[in-house]
Structure formats: structure tokens, C-alpha cells
Structure 1
Amino acid sequence: MDFKLSDFLPTTKKEVGLRGWDTLDVILFSADAYVDHPSFGAAVIGRTLEAAGYKVAIVPQPDWHGDFRDFKKLGKPNLFFGIAPGCMDSMVNKYTANRRLRSEDAYSPDGRHDMRPEYPTIVYSRILKNLFPDVPVVLGGIEASLRRLTHYDYWQDTLRKCILCDSHAELIIYGMGEKPIVELCRQLEGGVPIRDIRDIPQTVYLTQKNDLPHGICENDIMLYSHEECMKDKKKQASNFRHIEEESNKMHANRLIQEVDGKYAVVNPPYPPMTTAELDASFDLPYTRLPHPKYKDKRIPAYEMIKYSVNIHRGCFGGCAFCTISAHQGKFIASRSKESILKEVRKIIRMEGFKGYLSDLGGPSANMYRMEGKNRKICEKCKRPSCINPNVCLNLNTDHRPLLDVYHAVDALDGIKKSFIGSGVRYDLLLHRNDDDNINRAAEEYTRELICRHVSGRLKVAPEHTSDNVLKLMRKPSFCQFIEFKRIFDRINKEENLRQQIIPYFISSHPGCHEEDMADLAVKTKRLDFQLEQVQDFTPTPMTVSTETWYTGYDPYTLQPVYSAKSQNEKLAQRQFFFWYKPEAQNNIRQSLKRIGKTELINELCPQAPFFKKKTYTGNRNESDGYSQNDHHRHSKAKQGYSTDYPKNYDNGNNRAGSCIKKSKSKTGRRNNNNR
């Protein structure tokens, strides 16, 4: 497909002229390279405004040094400046869990590290307020969304205020922003000053106590103030329960928090988008290409997702370390089959496409069209997860609509194979429903997934083997992984396939002790796994796990929870992933003696070291709770995120251990995927 420069949203004065425009209504400043694709938040918001009739331009990765010419080159917009800080949190994008610089910036040309500042939301906003003090600045994207109230910042090791305080901007649009951004434009265009715009759902603003619209209402939730949270970590933990619950309710309440003598007000979110609304967003005239200015340059994140399709938003898994609930919520918004097929046909016509879709999924691979059977029950629910600690009886877990999409896509001329790169929820596949037709559909989906949609390696995320840790993670018992692996191995044998299953694991999560990691090493060794690329837990803003890690309390019970925090504590846990490496064995022996697990020494550290290499996990060593590729999947799912950390559990370590002893499977493993 050939595109003209004018087919992209303008990025320069010359390109604005190609459109025949004298002025602009909205100018977006993005910390990512401009890729005109529905997986990139700035493109989604820009195309949404364009479709609503507004003149919009994008300034990608402006130079924040020197004379700020990139911030001045397009002049003043008629309505406001918008800050789109990137598909990933800037600090997660830049640093590993050990605060080391990542190997590349996945959203910059050629992976360059010098194209964005730390905290671009704050940096860009302050520059614009200094240059154009009378023009409103509106914040969006993952960075502002997850910093909309008092939050813990791992990289500065402190509590930070609502990001409006530090950025000096007027408004935050949190979550998926298509609906609030258009409504904001309409009100501003109608002459309402931004200081008087207080009724748009899914927005956050600062106001003086005496100017709070409608005063403090009966249903408002007054959080502990920022200053109180600075003094008392238990109050910060208590706040977060309300924040998460209101993010996941169908009819949420307004949240109010005092900070610096003002109120930060979080309006409830819009309802989930309808299928028609979501289709309209994905059907906008994206070129699906990087802007021509990046000719001959590689944008790593784009390379990961250019032949993939996102089929839904939202995730009801509720994993404690995942930010999807804070950004998208738990209710699934699904595209129509027709819209999905339309996008696949566009991909088929793309230069270089050889017939293989890299992913046909979403935040989770197999939640398409799943929702509550009785909506009234959902309207009263405030559970953060629909499948933890057990699958809700009101949840429709039918995989037939998803199978229908797979079949329709695979039937298109030009498609050789569609792979599922998103993480699969095996607990949904194993769940037994009262409806035998739904059970048969889950079995059919499992077989089709394994036989037709695995690119040699299927990645799943058990995350740990200890049920005590999994309970805090809101993940299912490790027994369920054992059962799914057994099914995977059986189907591979029946179909004469040589495929691998790739389990992802996290160390140093709240509630995890060295003893739990020693047990993880034993259990995975008995399953014939050698774990090479794994993940230390990274605290990122607005997750239950982060709040537990920082405060030392479970936000829902306010009971104390241990977390490994020092470098030595983290390394002591991480080393158990690598029991098979000769250089790790002496330290592991010493650790096992120290924690009273001497009975495991002969199994993990025999006198003749175990050298044979067979099995590895996907590349998670640089990510924030999932693989580097997961970043691209989840940012795709969020259209402007990601910090996924992707959700269930059962009780009893003995059951998990006994399951492993019964397993005789010896298959090898490995993989990767954005999450």
C-alpha cells in the first residue's frame, strides 16, 4: 500500500500546510515515535479527534533541551495542548527492576535512549506552561493515568502527589481516552473555560476546597490526604483498596483526596465502550505505518506488533501486579468479527506480509466476548477479579465466539496461519461449567489453540508455585498449570507435534520468601524446566502488589506482608531460578542450609552438577512483570499503555506438590511475546 505524507497526521508546519490548515485545534506531544497504528495511543487520540472534525497535529519526541523549538514550532492551538507520554510508563520503559538502563527504548527509532526524558509528562507540561501560560495542558496515557492520586514511585523510593501537582497541567484524562477527549473538545469549543469543566467522566482535576462541584456528596469516597499517607503507610494501603474497587465497578463513586490544601478529584470512568464504539475506533483510517520521517529506521515496538490484531479491551483477571484494571477496567469490550476481519485484510495488503499473523488477541488471549450473564449482578459487583479466588458463577466463559473469529480469520485468502501471542488464561480453559456445550467449547479451543495457533512455543504465566504467594498475586494454584501442561503434552503427542510450553515466573513478589523460591526450583526441576530468563518483581504505580510492597500491608486486609527489598534479599530469591548453573550451586547450598532446607541440597545441588540444557522461559529479564514482548502486546491492548503484570489461586501447597510428583512429562520449553 502506498501512502502520501498527507495521509498521516501532521507533525510539522509544512505538513499542516499540506492539509490546508491555518490553525490547529489540538497539538499532541508524544514521547514515543509517531506510528500511525491503533496500538499507539497518540495515533488513536489524534485519529479520534480528526474523525470528530478537529484539526490535530502530533509532535513526536520533542527535544526538551536548548531553546525548545519543537514546542514552539506549531504555535498555539485553539483548544489545548495534549501530553501523550508513551505506550509504556517512561520509567518502566527506561529501567529494569534493578534500576539498570534497558538495552534499548522499544518505542524510539533504532531503540535510541536519548529520545525521551524521564517523566516526560512532567517535563513536557512544564515547558508548555512556561512558554504558553494561557493555553490549557491536558495529560493522558499510562504515565498520568497511573499517577492520578498519591502513588509510590519505585525509582525515587518515595510517595508522589497527584501528577497534576508536579506538572502544573489543568486536567488528566485517565484510561482509554477516546470518549472524554471528544467531550472535552466540545465543551471548550462551546466556550466553557477549562477551569469550569468538572463533569466529564474519566477526568481528574485539582480544585480549591470551597469550589468542589456539588460539595461533598453522600456517595463520594474521601481518601486519606497525601500528607496523612506520607506519615502512615497503612493509610496509603487503605486508600488503594478504594482506588482499585472504583476502577473496576460498573457504577463507580467519585474519589477525592486532599493534597497541598486542595482537592484532587477523580470522576468515575465512562462505561465500557460498546462493540460499535470500539469498532469505530479501530476502523479509523490508520496507515498502520511509522511516519515517513523514520524511513530506514527500526522502531522495535512496531516490529513486534505490525502484523498483529487486538480483538478486545479490558481484563477481568485482576492480577495483583497488573495495571490493566486501573487503566482499562475489568469489563471486556469486544470488537465485532467484521471489524477484526477488516483489519486483517489491511494487514494482508501490507508490504512484506507473508501470511502469518503474529497475534490475534488482547490483554489476555481468551476473554473475547466474555461478560456477566446477568448485568444487574455485575452492576453491584466490586470484586477486582471475576475469576479469583474462583470463577464467578455469573461469568459467561464460552469460547465459541472466539473460535468463530479464529475460523473466519484463517479462512481468508492470504492468511497461512494466525498465532496467539497474547497470554492464555488456562484457568478459564480448565473451568468446568454447568453447561456441557461451554465445556466442550473450552476443550475444542484448547485443542485448536495447541494444534493451529502456537508458533512452536506457547507462553503461559503461572508466575509462582507457592499457593500462599499465588493468593497474593491473585493467580490460580500451580496445580492448574500442572493439569494444563499434562493436556498440552498429551495433545502434542497425539498430533505428533514438538512444541514447547513456556511458563513465566516472578521472584521477590510480596509474600514470597526464600523458602518459596527453593520450593519453586524443586517443583520446576521435577517438571524438567530450566528457567533462564525470568523476572524480579518491579513495583510500578497503582497496583495492589506495589502498594503491598511499599506499605508492608495487604490493602484489603491491612495485615502485614513481608517483601524482599534489599539487593541481597532479591538476589537470594532470584538465584533459585538458576539451580542448574554450576556458578550458582555453592550459594544455593549455603542458602538452603541457612533457611533450614538441607533436604533439598541433594536434589538441587548434586555433587555432579546438572549441565544438560533443555528448557527456558521467555525473555522477561528486562521487563516490569512480563516479557519485553509483553510490553508491546499490552500497550497494544491499552492503546497507550503498558505496564501489565498480568490473576487466581487455590489453597494448599501440598496439593501442588503432589500434582508434580504425579507428572511424568519431559517436554522442553521456551518463548517470548507487550502485556
Structure 2
Amino acid sequence: MNERPITDWLPLTMKEVEKRGWDSVDVVIVSGDAYVDHPAFGTAVIGRIIESEGFRVAVVAQPNWKDDLRDFKKFGKPNYFFGVTAGCMDSMVNHYTANRRLRSTDAYTPGGQSGFRPDYATITYTKILKELYPDVPVLIGGIEASLRRVTHYDYWKDKLMPGILKDSGADILVYGMGEQPLRDMLKLVRKGVPFSSLKTIPQTAFLQSVEEELPKNKNWDTIALASHEECLADKLKYAANFKIVEVESNKLNARRITQDIGNERLVINPPYKTMTEKEMDQSFDLPYTRFPHPKYKKRGAIPAYEMIKFSINMHRGCFGGCSFCTISAHQGKFISSRSQKSILKEVEQVVNDPTFKGYISDLGGPSANMYGMKGKDESICERCSSPSCIHPVICNNLDTSHSSMTELYRKVDAHPKVKKAFIGSGIRYDLLVDDFNKNNEDGNHDEYIEQVVTRHVSGRLKVAPEHTSDATLRVMRKPSFRYFHKFKEKYDEISAKNGLSQQLIPYFISSHPGCEEQDMANLAAETKDMGFRLEQVQDFTPTPMTVATVIYYSGVHPYTLKPVFTPKTKEEKQNQHRFFFWYKKENHGWIRNRLTQAKRPELLDKLLGSESNPDTTVARSKPKWLEERRKNERSKKRKR
């Protein structure tokens, strides 16, 4: 780490406050993560924005909430408000596996140690602050608050919970990426406007009495959800609520949403328009040190930071709308892209880090290849209420050109200090298959793939077909698996032309709503036939604010209210997992019995047959051209 003044970081202690010559703090941010002053960490972004608006801000990172509350009191009463976030992850996802087992590590804590944040961190922190400083407003945000803003199913308690404002007692909630609402709020409170009057700022939520009149805004229509109590009594009403919330969260001209909770009314204002390039640059170009706070030096590395230390985020948002994913629910479906100038400026910062060895770990975003993509005609987007721009087909209005990304990759490649810039984010391969993406007007998809395969793969290229069953994929809002076959053909062809041996690594999900046991058997057989011995499968974890979670709890699809099968028991989940690992000897007997009972001899023959010994099967994807080349090389050696 560079030796630099402690005042380069936002203060974590009163000594650091005093070194800045402050006699008090305007805003205190309380976070479940360790403080890393890098644009990939929400606490740093929010803190730097508050600072840029002329406020004195300090950070309380991972406070002791158990038996000593002095961490919450060390800066005293802030002049304006407390800001609370659970961190970069929902605290329950951070703490527990899909099987509800406690994780032994925490990637956002020095040394990867667990136990430095509570369950339901946003609620816990806010309650403590309200007890200590009842007259100081508390603003909550981050992914945990954002995705729990309405009645939601909590997998770990196995029940519906009300919007998080009810349980936490916070004054205002900012949902989504918070830069726009935060800047407007700061300007108003600076003028002396009380928090109780900040009820017409977009992308915020608050509670009020059911008798109280809604704040007036002539541009907003309002739609009411079924109440929390109605959702508790009727799962179908809960499911129907979700469709409204998802649609309104992803519309450019959204309505205000209300939901009654007892004698209170939750009010959710519509979101801001998508951040412009200028606004994105403004957020990423703030004076981050790009390092963890020096206090963590003796406690060990922060794994999440080490992973992204030399990565560059080019954009936000995802128009995929996958039913198991929270990215579009939090970041929005419309893409917010940075300018090339801002990205190249960050490249310069990265390469000048004294520990940089020449390798950028990722040039990407939520999906690596959505940078710069948007609707050709914004008026069409304004009328759109679809949660996905590419499911079930790609919207004709979506500009899917990859030319700006290819150009940017080449500029980064040309930097004399960059040996290689990898694409570590997942690539939406379906956008690169002409049979699926017919919007390839400039014909640059193959050029992009070739650039990625020949210059930006670190031995493995990750893609996420997620399943092979078309029925399951429809529930997932993912394209047919046949497009993965087509992409793999193109990938192998480019690899062969350039003499490269780089693995294509597909990711899959088991136990997803809509997935039957035999669907997993088919997945195992089809991927084996392609030459894959799969190493990783993600067991579906229900998380708030996703279609798949609504199906898991309610048993119906929120858009049709028709039943969808969902594996829920421990046995059902284990059975699906076993098919995935067909090559393990301990699973062979069980697979034989299961497929014999199901009268699926063709699947049994494909999976086991005469190759029941896992040592005889292909370990990873090996294209035919590579096998042929190695065969020829062995033949030449024998002749010599």
C-alpha cells in the first residue's frame, strides 16, 4: 500500500476527525463491511458523494453490536443524519449457504473472518442508533434495504416479512443505486429542509399514517399493493404484488407504489431516470484512494478487495431480467455506462499502483458485454413494461453493437504497462449468437468474440447457460440451450484458428423453480455428451425481490398465477445435485436405481453405460480440433 496521509481516507476514528480540524461530523455512515475506499464498495461511493457535496462525513465500519455500543457513539451526534447499510451483500446471503448453514468466512472482512456483522444488519444497526439518538434521522440503503423494501419472503426465517422500514424504524429508505436521490437530499437538508419533508424525492420510500394524505406530485400516478396482512393470508396476493413492483421498478415512467402495513402506509416513490454518462463519470471519478483503510493492515487482506483490486467496472444495470438474479432489481434493467475517458483514467490509476504486475483482472460489469447498449428510440423504452429486453426474444429496439467494447478493449491493450486485461465478468453469450440476436447490424459480434478469445481469457471463459431444459430456462428467463451449442461451436472455431487451448466453463443452477429431477438428469447427460465434467453447481437460494423466490414461496408464477413445481425438501435438492455429479462413483448405484424406476434407459446409458468408472470420462471440455492436434503430435513423436 502507498504510504499516504491518513486524511486521504474518510475518518474511522475521532483522532482522524481531529486531524482534519473538525469539531463535529455532519453525517455518520454505519456499514456491515470493512471500509475499502474503492468505487466497487458502496460505503466508499456514498461517503465520497456526501463529501463532494461539502459535508463532513465519517464511517463506522463493522461496529460491535453485541455487548459494547461505543462504536456507535464514538463520533457523537451527527449534525444531519446517520446512513446505514448492511454492506455490499444482504447480510443473510453473506452469512448462510443455500442449505442455511453458517458460512465460516466473510469476504468483506479483514482476514476473511466471519462474525463481524449481525444477521439482518440494517435492522440491528438502525434500532441501536434509534435507541441512542432517537431525535437523529436514519437513512437506510444498500442492497439489503433496497430488496427488502416491500413485503418479502425471507428464506432464513421461512416467512413473509414486512418492508424493512417497519422492522428497522428508519426514517427514509433509498433503493437502488443511491447517487441521484442522495445528492438531491443533501442539497435540501443543507438548506434546512427537515427529513420529514423529503417525501417527494424519487427512488425513496417512507412510512406514514394510513389517514395521512400522500405528498402531492402532479407527475406521479399511484398504484396500491395488497396490504402486508392480505399477503400473510393469501400467497396469491403476495405473488401478484411482485409483478407490480418489478414492472414499476423497471419503467422509465413508473408509478408511485403504496402498501398498508397495519395502521401505517408504506410509500415508494418511482425511480430516477437512468444515470447519464456524465453522472456515472462523476461517481467513479471521485478521489478514492483505492485501498482499504490502513487500520486493517495487521488484520490481513480483505478477500473481496483482493479480487477486484485491479478490476474496472465499465457500466451498471442488466437488461437480462433473469428470474433468480437481483441485479436488475437493484441496479435497474437500463444500462448506465461510463465514458471511455473515465474508464481509461481509471486504467491509468490501476497501472500506477506499485503492486500492479501488468494484469487487469476484469474489464466488465454485471454482464461483461452490455457496455454502451441502450434503446435506439427512447420513446419506445418509455412505453415498455417488460422486465427483460432479451427474453423471450431480443427487442428490435435494443442496440446490441459490441463495437464500442471492442474499441475500448484495444485501447486498454495498447497501454504499455498492461500485459493483459482479462474479462472476468460473465459474458452473455446469447448476445453473440446470430440465430438469437438478429440486431447485429454492424456485424461485429464475431470481431468481439475473437478479440475476447485471443486477448482477454485467463485460461477460462465463464458463461452461464444455467440449464439445458427449455421449460426450466423459460422460468429462468434464459434462452434455449441450443444457443450455447452454437456459441461453443464459434468459440472452438476461433480457438482452433488461433491455436489456443482455453476452457469454456459453463455455470448451472440446480433446484430452481420449474426444474424437475429428470431435467437435471438430462442436463447431466447433455453436458457429458458435449465433453464436460462439471465442477460447480449453484443450488438455488431464494433471495428477496426475485421472480424465482416468489415462485418458491407461493408456488405460482407471479405473472400468470399458475402453479410451478419447485424442489424444496432436502431430499429433492440432494437428488438433483447427485445427477450433476454423475461421474462420482458413490452416485452410480443411486442413479441406476432412479433412472430405472423412471423408465429412462436412454439416460442411464448416456450417463453411465460402460463408462461407470469416472477415470475414463473427459474431465473438461476438449474440442475435437484440440484432440486431433494432440493425436497428430503424439504420432509425430512416435515416428521420430
The normalised TM-score by structure 1 is 0.90
What is the alpha-carbon distance in structure 2 between the residues aligned to residue 280 and residue 196 of structure 1?
A: 27
Deviation, 1:216, is 11
Q: Provide, for residues 454-475 of structure 1, a one-character-per-residue CA deviation record: whole Å limited to 9, x for no partner.
A: 0010000000000000000010
- Are 2:586 and 1:601 aligned? no
Listed one character per residue, the Cα deviations across residues 628-658 of structure 1 (whole Å, up to 9, x for unaligned) are xxxxxxxxxxxxxxxxxxxxxxxxxxxxxxx
User: 414, 419, 427: which is aligned to 2:417?
Assistant: 414
**Separation (CA, whole Å) in 1 of partners of 2:475 and 2:440:** 32
- Residue 2 of structure 1, CA deviation: 3.5
Residues 132-175 of structure 1, C-alpha deviations (whole Å, 9 max, x = no match) = 11101110100000000000000110000000111111110111
Aligned CA distance change for structure 1 residues 2 and 438 (closer, same or farther; 3 Å): farther
Cα deviation for residue 596 of structure 1 reads 3.0
Say if 2:496 and 2:625, in contact at 8 Å, map to a contact too.
no
State how 1:612-631 maps to structure 2 within 5 Å. 612=615, 614-615=618-619
Distance 1:386 1:608, change over 3 A: closer
Q: Hey, what does 1:454 align to over in structure 2?
A: 457
In structure 1, what is the Cα distance between the partners aligned to 2:376 and 2:37?
A: 37
Q: How far apart are residue 261 of structure 1 and its match? A: 1.5
Q: Distance in 2 between matches of 1:260 and 1:300?
A: 43
CA distance in 1, matches of 2:470, 2:528: 18
Q: Which SS does the other structure have where 1:210 is aligned?
A: coil
| 3-state SS of 1:88 partner | coil
Paired position in structure 2 for 1:125: 126
Alpha-carbon distance in 2 for matches of 1:272, 1:448: 29
1:189 partner amino acid? R
Please give the residue correspondences for 1:579-598 in structure 2 after superposition, counting only pairs within 5 Å.
579-598=582-601
**Alignment partners' CA distance in 1, 2:114 and 2:133:** 28
Between the aligned partners of 1:376 and 1:491, the Cα distance in structure 2 is 39
**Secondary structure in 1 matching 2:614:** coil
1:539, distance to aligned residue in structure 2 (A): 0.3
SS at match of 1:239: helix
- Over 3 Å counting, the alpha-carbon distance change for 1:471 and 1:326 in structure 2 is same
In 1, distance between residues paired with 2:449 and 2:67? 56
Alignment of 1:640-655 (within 5 A): none
The reply on whether 1:180 has 2:181 as its aligned counterpart is yes
Q: What are the within-5 Å matches in structure 2 for residues 129-528 of structure 1?
A: 129-214=130-215, 219-296=221-298, 297-431=300-434, 438-439=442-443, 441-528=444-531
* Deviates further, 257-266 or 464-473: 257-266
Question: Retained in 1: the 8 A contact 2:88–2:143?
Answer: yes
8 Å CA contact retained: 1:136, 1:169:
yes
Provide the rounded CA distance (Å) in 2 between the counterparts of 1:331 and 1:160.
29
The structure-2 alpha-carbon separation of the partners of 1:570 and 1:479, relative to structure 1 and needing over 3 Å to count, comes to same
Query: Once the 2 structures are TM-superposed, how far is the Cα of residue 666 of structure 1 from its aligned partner?
Result: 7.7
1:172 aligned counterpart, secondary structure: strand
How many angstroms does 1:608 deviate by? 5.1
Q: What count of residue pairs does the alignment treat as equivalent?
A: 622
Q: Does 1:558 align with 2:561?
A: yes
Distance 2:206 2:304 in 1: 32
Contact 2:130 2:136 in 1 (8 A): yes
Question: Counterparts of 2:241 and 2:474 in 1: how far apart (Å)?
Answer: 21
Alignment check: 8 A CA contact 1:3 1:287 kept: no
Cα distance 1:97–1:436, how it changes in 2: closer, same or farther (>3 A)? closer
**Partner secondary structure for residue 545 of structure 1:** helix
Q: Deviation of residue 347 (structure 1)?
A: 0.4
Matched-pair contact (CA < 8 Å) for 1:226–1:258: yes
Secondary structure of 2:29's counterpart equals strand
Q: CA RMSD in A?
A: 1.7
Contact 2:174 2:203 in 1 (8 A): yes
Does the C-alpha gap of structure 1 residues 458 and 54 become closer, same or farther in structure 2, counting only changes over 3 Å? same
User: How much does 1:667 deviate?
Assistant: 7.7
Higher-Rg member (1/2): 2
The range that moved more, 331-340 or 606-615, is 606-615
Contact 2:509 / 2:537 at 8 angstroms: preserved in 1?
A: yes
Given candidates 599, 604, 610, the residue that maps to 2:613 is 610
1:142 corresponds to which letter in structure 2? I
After TM superposition, give the deviation of residue 590 of structure 1 in Å: 1.8
Contact 2:501-2:626 within 8 A present in 1 as well = no
Cα deviation per residue 1:331-386 (whole Å; 9 max; x = unaligned)? 11100001000001000011211111000000000011100001100010011111
Indicate the residue corresponding to 2:115 in structure 1. Answer: 114
423-432 or 519-528, which deviates more: 423-432
Q: In the alignment, residue 58 of structure 2 is paired with which amino acid? A: A
2:637 aligned partner: none
> What CA deviation, in whole Å up to 9, does each residue of 1:525-545 have, x standing for no partner?
101111122111000000011
Residue 421 of structure 2 aligns with an amino acid whose one-letter code is S
Give how far 1:488 is off.
0.9
Which residue in 1 is equivalent to 2:635? none
Aligned twin of 2:98: 97
Aligned to 2:64: 63
- Residues in 1 aligned to 2:610 and 2:442: alpha-carbon distance in whole angstroms: 51
1:206 and 1:264 in contact (8 A); partners too: yes
In percent, how many aligned pairs have the same letter? 56
CA deviation digits over 1:92-123, x for unaligned, max 9? 11111011122410001111111111111011
Q: What is the CA–CA distance in structure 2 between the aligned matches of 1:33 and 1:595, rounded to whole Å?
A: 51
1:14 is matched by which residue type in structure 2? Answer: K
Contact 2:423/2:457 (8 A) holds in 1:
yes
In the TM superposition, residue 70 of structure 1 has moved relative to its aligned partner by: 0.2
- Aligned to 1:29, what secondary structure does the other structure show? strand
Alpha-carbon distance, 1:664 to partner:
6.1
Distance 1:611 1:452 in 2: 34
- Give, in angstroms, the shift of residue 616 of structure 1: 5.7
Q: CA deviation at 1:179?
A: 1.6
Distance 1:158 1:665 in 2: 53
Q: Structure 1 CA distance, aligned partners of 2:226 and 2:602?
A: 48
| Runs of 4+ more than 4 Å apart | 214-218, 432-437, 663-668
Higher-RCO chain (CA-CA 8 Å, sequence separation at least 6): 1
The question of whether the paired residues in 1 share the 8 Å contact of 2:199 and 2:215 is answered with no
Q: Secondary structure at the match of 1:35?
A: coil
**Structure 1: which 5+ runs fail to align?**
618-662, 669-675
Query: How far apart are residue 437 of structure 1 and its match?
Result: 5.1
Give 1:326 deviation, angstroms: 1.2
CA contact (8 A) 1:512 1:564 kept: yes
Cα distance in 1 for residues equivalent to 2:140 and 2:15: 26
Q: Which runs of 5+ in 2 are unaligned?
A: 629-640
